[in-house]
Amino acid sequence: MSEASAPHAADRRELTAAQRNAVAELLRVSPVADELGRRFVRAGHELHLVGGSVRDALLGRLGDDLDFCTDAHPDETLRIIKGWAESIWETGREFGTIGAQRDGLRLEITTFRAESYDQVTRNPVVVYGTSLDEDLKRRDFTINAMAVSLPEHRFTDPHGGLADLSAKVIRTPSTPGESFGDDPLRMLRAARFAAQLRFAVHPDVHVAMTEMAADLDRITAERIRDEFTKLLCGADPITGLRLLVDTGLAERFLPELTGLKLEIDEHAQHKDVYEHTLTVVENAVSYEEEGCDFILRMAALLHDVGKPATKAVGSDGRVSFHHHEVVGARLTKARMKAMRYPKEVTAKVTALVALHLRFYGYGRGEWTDSAVRRYVADAGDLLPRLHKLTRSDCTTRNRRKAAQLAADYDALEDRIARIAAEEDLARVRPDLDGNAIMELLGVPPGPVVGRAWKHLKEQRLEHGPLDRDAAEAELLRWARAEGLIS
């Protein structure tokens, strides 16, 4: 060993010892794990804290969910924890997992696995293993293939996960090709961990992700959706998104994102719409007040997906994307439906995409109070998110222009607040309800009431609140014009 490399090696040994001590200390102050370990040992079985729990303990962020593995089969695990656990659930029993709760901690105890895959649907075929080493070898990444045996706190790291954790590298225990061949979803998980932990994937992993991207087609939309959601909600979603595009994985389930690389921005301020979009996502994250707002992040990611289909070049050479928000909303709805997102989530993201351009033009002084009311009414409970999305969409490098856009939006928010103080903008309703409409017109429930209600709402948006007499007069005027009364 050279003199130059010796200090580095010493530092690595010190770091390893410090991190091992951190695991022991975290377990010491969490006696539930040791209690559980002693119960398994008394029953003649092993118990090990594994996977993300060990990784997070080493990172100093161990939470309330603990993962364990054991040589005990589910029936034996149930016998060991019965009378000790405060509650028990068996929803994961077919995969060898028994869940339990104790002292506010959620515990999942899984029998050693040596699972194989059917190589068609890539669904796991659970086969119980016989050793900890066998179990760790089948895990997705080395940083998730470490264990702490209980109750003695013996640390096991057969694949160099601790070194990879220190180096912030995502690597597989076996070759990447073997690991991804077992379960192609692991390619998406690699991008997800890159986003969550701010880690880089090992070059060999990157190559395998690129070469095997098409294998992701065998994975169900629901599993892809869940991993992608976690990626987008990561601490650094941009790193994960770039990895999806660069390896070709995005093309398999979110081709609209890759398609943005082909289009230049109409203001020619960015390399392409793809780079602009990543900046908007980054900006949106900075506006979050607490935790991940998936709806805001997804709207930021998809807000310009309609541009490729609406690109036009004028006679003066300028590029435009007229009505791309309308096309984008349609594409967003279709893509999120294909990814099996819930209807209510899809509806909110789609609405934000459709509304994201509405603000532009406000600075020209053309908006009346009526236009402001419609802006608020159309956004509904999405208004706070629409504020954030619109501000995030300002990515111009022109400082004067950026300052003007910010000032314009400040003015709009102030104007909304002023009008809201005078009117109930949060609940824009007609000044007469359905019962009043039926009583005044002498009609039963039906389409006429709906039409009248819609007309009065339009009047409310256009002119603001009407008193009772004015509202009734307007309703009667409308009914005469419609031939409903004489």
Among residues 212, 279, 281, 207, which one has the least CA distance to residue 252? 212
- 90 close to 60: Cβ distance less than 8 angstroms: no
Tell the residue number behind the tokens 């005044």, with chain if given.
440
Q: What is the average per-residue pLDDT within 88-112?
A: 93
Among residues 392, 154, 156, which one has the least CA distance to residue 280? 392
pLDDT > 80? residue 403: yes
% of the chain exceeding 70 in pLDDT: 84
Asked whether the CA dihedral 236, 27, 67, 190 is positive or negative, the reply is positive
**Of 284-288, 400-404, 429-433, where does mean pLDDT reach its minimum?**
429-433
- Within 29-140, residue ranges assigned H as helices are 31-42, 52-58, 74-81, 132-137
Q: What is the average per-residue pLDDT within 426-436?
A: 63
pLDDT digits (tens, 9 = 90+) for 232-257: 999 999 999 999 999 999 999 999 99
Instruction: Say which DSSP state 144 is in.
Output: G
- For the chain, the first-to-last Cα distance in angstroms comes to 103
Instruction: Give, in order, the Cα–Cα distances in Å from 34 to each of 23, 67, 101, 184.
Output: 13, 13, 14, 35
pLDDT of residue 12: 44
pLDDT > 90? residue 464: no
Instruction: Give, in order, the Cα–Cα distances in Å from 118 to each of 7, 76, 352.
Output: 48, 28, 41
Distance from chain centroid for Cα 137: 29
pLDDT of residue 355: 93
Instruction: Give, in order, the Cα–Cα distances in Å from 238 to each of 190, 269, 301, 315.
Output: 14, 19, 10, 36
Distance from chain centroid for Cα 347: 16
pLDDT of residue 68: 96
3-state SS, residue 100: strand
pLDDT of residue 450: 79
Asked whether the CA dihedral 166, 171, 175, 179 is positive or negative, the reply is positive
User: Rounded to two decimals, what is the model's pTM?
Assistant: 0.80
